[in-house]
Amino acid sequence: MDHDRIILVFYIYRDVLKNESIRKEYMDSIKEHFETQGMAPTIFFVPTDTEERIDCINPKYIEDQNEILKLKETLSRVEDLFDIGKISLNDSSTEKI
């Protein structure tokens, strides 16, 4: 693993990740989004029964404030684009993702 690469962990509802066709399309879309942004993070998808979220586990210290801002903005866009953390476990629309 490249130790200069940013590592992102996506905690996604288990029900979303159970469906193979949804899972593959979802993961590929997220990876493609980062590629179009000129970023190549290592991405892990972890099933969760609690809240959806994205954690950045960074093996290097980012000193450039512009890079930190770029990462925060990109993660915020990804959360909005892919509805991460926006659907309740009790919401029946979870299966429609």
Q: What is the DSSP pairing of strand 7-13 with strand 42-48?
A: parallel
Q: Kindly indicate the confidence band of residue 29, based on its pLDDT and cuts at 50, 70 and 90.
A: very high
- The letter for the amino acid at 3 is H
Structure tokens of 32?
């493609």
Domain boundaries, the chain: 7-91
Residues in contact with 85: Cβ distance below 8 Å, sequence separation at least 6, in sequence order: 51, 52, 53, 79
pLDDT tens-digit series, residues 41-95: 899 999 999 999 998 887 566 778 888 888 888 888 888 888 887 665 555 443 3
pLDDT given at position 49:
92
Which DSSP symbol is given to 25? H
**pLDDT at position 2 over 80:** no
Percent helix, strand, coil in the chain (nearest 5)? 45, 20, 35
Structure tokens of 85?
């953390």
